[in-house]
């Protein structure tokens, strides 16, 4: 069985590091990597029937066979979730970590990998947070971003599932994702490249979905856009999502978001925002969202663990720039406030979304 309490760990001497926790500029956290003290590692070999022994170790490089499944064939998944410092008492709060665990299980099935149980996953996340407690930003300054990975770590030459798997978690304090900070972003509709296709892996969080979007993302950034919006690969008419987040469009009192029919990443923030918007009386539709729906929207915003709820001020499509409402009175701002007050423990957690650490 996995360990149920925090083991004795060597104290980490970070006195020579640039960032030793005390030196961190909590007011200017972006989404860069700040290495923290510990990571969690758990392995599973062929024939073992599941993951069994996990433990914390000092954060650092890992050893991998050059012929590991992840390096050669991209057999891997990742997750992302955040821990927040509590306002009312010492301790931390996780936002719906069981949902990340379940999404990893679905992805693992698609990628022919064994996966940790929900209990193992959440336990490992808690241990990682506790061991890196000094890196959790103070209330209101950001969060500890937790990055679970599940990779085919065993050696394999022919194309087949790897003979060994490693589940790992590391963490980094983060602030806002986009360089725009809390400000609204400008997006461009990508017309050459696609993120996903029917029957592909767009609906699971495989590592292999992310490197292929870099080219479109880099081109867009060089033209001053924060990210791109992908169109469906069949009709080239329906918007799907951005490279790093889901998409919502508001017209009147109807909020629409692309339905998760295999090409859309089923975001946990996405699902939470759907629920919070319905609670506010909005009609929320999960359906195809056409380019026409997008350009005629009153408001557009993106959601994700990393991006939170980010307002979109303009979308450029075929050279035309379309503008949307942003600011204090926008729905995205209201939803952002509601979501973050639950996540930070400022509002009552009526939905049971928070897991205390």
Q: Which stretch binds ligand COI (CB under 6 A): 20-28, 250-258, 303-311, 313-321?
A: 303-311
205 is catalytic: yes
Smaller CB separation from ligand COI, 54 or 304? 304
> Using the rule CB under 6 A, is 69 a contact of ligand COI?
no
**What character string, x for contact with ligand COI (CB under 6 A) and - otherwise, covers 72-101?**
--------x---------------------
From the CB of 303, what's the least distance to ligand COI, in Å?
9
Q: Which of 285, 139, 108, 258 is nearest to 196 (CA)?
A: 258
> Using the rule CB under 6 A, is 244 a contact of ligand COI?
yes
Distance CA 92, CA 288 (A): 38
Q: Which of 252, 33, 71, 254 is nearest to 157 (CA)?
A: 71
Q: Which of 3, 82, 179, 205 is catalytic?
A: 205
> Using the rule CB under 6 A, is 306 a contact of ligand COI?
yes
Q: Which stretch binds ligand COI (CB under 6 A): 33-41, 118-126, 304-312, 328-336?
A: 304-312
Size of the site for ligand COI (CB under 6 A): 5
Contact in structure between 69 and 75 (CB atoms under 8 Å):
yes
Q: Residue 145: is it exposed, middle or buried by C-beta count within 10 angstroms (0-12/13-18/19+)? A: buried
Smaller CB separation from ligand COI, 259 or 306? 306
Smaller CB separation from ligand COI, 154 or 173? 173
Closest residue to ligand COI: CB criterion: 80
Smaller CB separation from ligand COI, 124 or 295? 124
Partnered with residue 321 across adjacent β-strands are 316
Q: Which stretch binds ligand COI (CB under 6 A): 6-14, 190-198, 225-233, 300-308?
A: 300-308
> Using the rule CB under 6 A, is 272 a contact of ligand COI?
no
From the CB of 156, what's the least distance to ligand COI, in Å?
26
> Using the rule CB under 6 A, is 128 a contact of ligand COI?
no
Smaller CB separation from ligand COI, 120 or 310? 310
Smaller CB separation from ligand COI, 186 or 305? 305
Partnered with residue 68 across adjacent β-strands are 155
In the chain, where does DSSP find H-type helix? 69-73, 97-110, 118-131, 214-222, 268-279, 291-295, 331-343
Rule CB under 6 A: choose which of 209, 305, 326, 332 binds ligand COI.
305
Half-sphere exposure of 344 (CA within 13 A, CB side): 16
Question: What's the angle, vertex CA 148, arms to CA 143 and CA 151, rounded to 5?
Answer: 160
Contact in structure between 191 and 216 (CB atoms under 8 Å):
no
Beta strands in 59-98 (DSSP E): 76-78, 81-85, 92-95
Question: What's the angle, vertex CA 78, arms to CA 74 and CA 82, rounded to 5?
Answer: 165
**Quick one: CA torsion of 115, 116, 118, 119, rounded to 10 degrees?**
170
Rule CB under 6 A: choose which of 142, 203, 304, 345 binds ligand COI.
304
From the CB of 244, what's the least distance to ligand COI, in Å?
4
**Residues interacting with ligand COI, by CB under 6 A?**
80, 244, 304-306
Residues with catalytic roles:
205
């Amino acid at each position: 069985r996995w360990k149920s309490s925090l083991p004795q760990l060597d104290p980490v001497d970070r006195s020579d590091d640039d960032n030793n926790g005390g030196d961190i500029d909590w007011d200017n956290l972006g989404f860069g990597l700040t290495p923290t003290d510990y990571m969690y590692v758990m392995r599973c070999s062929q024939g073992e029937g599941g993951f069994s022994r996990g433990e914390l170790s000092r954060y650092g490089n890992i050893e991998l066979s050059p012929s590991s499944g992840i390096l050669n064939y991209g057999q891997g998944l990742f997750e992302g979730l955040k821990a927040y410092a509590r306002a009312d008492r010492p301790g931390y709060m996780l936002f719906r970590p069981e949902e990340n665990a379940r999404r990893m299980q679905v992805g693992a099935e698609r990628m022919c990998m064994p996966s940790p149980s929900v209990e193992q996953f959440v336990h490992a996340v808690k241990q990682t947070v506790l061991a890196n407690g000094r890196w959790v930003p103070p209330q209101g300054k950001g969060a500890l971003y937790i990055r679970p990975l599940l990779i085919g770590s065993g050696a394999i030459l022919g194309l087949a599932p790897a003979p060994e798997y490693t589940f790992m978690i590391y963490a980094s304090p983060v602030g806002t994702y986009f360089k725009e900070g809390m400000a609204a972003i400008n997006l461009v509709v990508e017309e050459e490249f696609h993120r996903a296709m029917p029957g592909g892996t767009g609906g699971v969080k495989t590592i292999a979905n992310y490197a292929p979007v870099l080219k479109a993302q880099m081109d867009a950034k060089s033209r001053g856009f924060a990210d791109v919006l992908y169109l469906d690969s069949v009709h080239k008419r329906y918007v799907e999502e951005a490279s790093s987040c889901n998409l919502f469009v508001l017209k009147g009192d109807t909020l629409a978001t692309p339905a998760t029919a295999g090409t859309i990443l089923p975001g946990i923030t996405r699902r939470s925002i759907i629920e919070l918007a319905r609670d506010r009386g909005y009609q929320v539709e999960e359906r195809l969202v056409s380019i026409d729906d997008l350009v005629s929207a009153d408001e557009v915003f993106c959601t994700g663990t990393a991006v939170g709820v980010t307002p979109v001020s303009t979308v450029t499509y075929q050279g035309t720039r379309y503008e949307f409402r942003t600011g204090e009175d926008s729905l995205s701002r209201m939803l952002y406030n509601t979501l973050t007050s639950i996540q930070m423990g400022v509002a009552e957690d009526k939905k049971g979304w928070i897991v205390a650490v």
